[in-house]
Amino acid sequence: MKSLSIVTLAVLLLQSAFTLAQDTSRIRYFSEKLYVQNLIEGIRSENCGLRRSSVYMAGKYRITEVNDVLIEVMKSEKDPSTRILIALSICNIGEPSGMEAILNFSHNEKDPKAKRMFINIYQDYKNHIAAQNTF
C-alpha cells in the first residue's frame, strides 16, 4: 500500500513537471482567442445584463478585436443607456474607425442625452489627440 502511494506521488510529480515544461505560448494564444470569441458572443447576446457586462469589459480591457462588433451592435441597439455604454467602450478602445462611428451615430441619434454624450465623447477624443500632437 505504501509503495503504491509512493508510485502515485511520483507519477503526479512527473506529470506536473512535464506540464510545466510545455510551451505555453500556443495554449495562451488559443485561450485568448477563445476569450475574445466569448466576449463577442456576450456582446451579441439577447440577455441585456450579459450584453452590457460584455460591452463594459471590452472597453475596460481595451479589446481592439471587438471594435467592429461594438459598432455593429450599436446600430441595432434600442436602449439609449446601452448605446452610451457602447460609445464609452469604443472610446476606451480608441480605434479611429470607432470614433468616427460615434460621430456618425451622433448625427442620427434621437435621444437627447445619448446625442449629447456621443458629441462629448467624440470631442474629448479629439482634444486628447490634439494634446498628444502638441508634444
Tens of each residue's pLDDT in the chain, 135 residues = 667 677 676 666 656 655 655 555 655 666 688 999 999 999 999 999 999 999 999 999 999 999 999 999 999 999 999 999 999 999 999 999 999 999 999 999 999 999 999 999 999 999 998 888 876
Structural domains of the chain, count: 1
d(CA 4, CA 1): 5
110 falls within a domain: yes
39 falls within a domain: yes
Q: Do the beta carbons of residue 86 and residue 44 sit within 8 Å?
A: no
d(CA 82, CA 120): 16
| Closest by CA position to 70, among listed 35, 94, 49, 47 | 94
CB atoms within 10 A of CB 92: 16
CA angle, 120 as apex, 116 and 125 as ends, to 5°?
Answer: 150
Cα of 93 vs its chain's centroid, Å: 8
Cell of residue 111, nine digits:
435621444
22 falls within a domain: no
* pLDDT at 32 (0 to 100): 84
Domain interval for residue 105: 31-133
1 falls within a domain: no
List the CATH number of the domain containing 70.
1.25.10.10
12 falls within a domain: no
d(CA 114, CA 103): 12
Q: What is the pTM of this model?
A: 0.77
* pLDDT at 20 (0 to 100): 54
25 falls within a domain: no
75 falls within a domain: yes
Q: Do the beta carbons of residue 72 and residue 40 sit within 8 Å?
A: no
The position carrying cell 460615434 is: 102
6 falls within a domain: no
